[in-house]
Amino acid sequence: MPTVLIIEDDPSSREGYAALVRDALGYTVVTADDGERALDLMRAGLTPQLIVLDLALPQMDGFAFREQQLADPAIPNCPALICSGNLDHATDLERLKGAAFLEKPIEPAAFVRLVSAFCAAESPSPSPP
């Protein structure tokens, strides 16, 4: 079962994303309200198949989170779906090494399609008998 880490400080957005992932896809969801908390979870062993990342976060924003996550070999390197209302698409997406970008407010069907596609691509194939 894929696990999705949602890093979003707005409670209604965070819970809305989590509900979409759980209800539409049946995936496990872990949430964090800032980048520092997300790093703590990943350093403690959380290995998500996908990170849903807001950029405007308290304490540690999405840029700082992604920089530290990618630089730390002890933390899994997994794709990030950037969900933000303020992103210079080409430059920032490259800087973030983001897999995809959705502008807020997100369209739920597009969000579910992207989460499903990334988790399917990251899930290991079953071994042949």
The 10s digit of each residue's pLDDT in 29-71 is 999 999 999 999 999 999 999 999 998 899 999 989 999 999 9
Tokens of 65: 């989170």
d(CA 58, CA 128) in angstroms, rounded, equals 46
| Of 112, 75, 67, 122, residue with least CA distance to 92 | 67
Q: Which residue has the tokens 């194939």?
A: 125
Tokens of 30: 């872990």
Q: Percentage of the chain with pLDDT > 90?
A: 68
**Ramachandran region, residue 122 (left: φ > 0; alpha: ψ -120 to 50; beta: rest):** alpha
Which class in CATH covers the domain with range 3-122?
alpha beta
DSSP classification of residue 97: T
71 residue type, one letter: A
pLDDT above 70: residue 128: no
Could you tell me the residue ranges of all domains in the chain?
3-122
Whole-model pTM?
0.89
Which regions of 45-111 does DSSP assign to beta strands (E)? 50-53, 80-84, 100-103
Tokens of 42: 């990943």
Of 42-51, 81-90, 99-108, highest mean pLDDT: 42-51
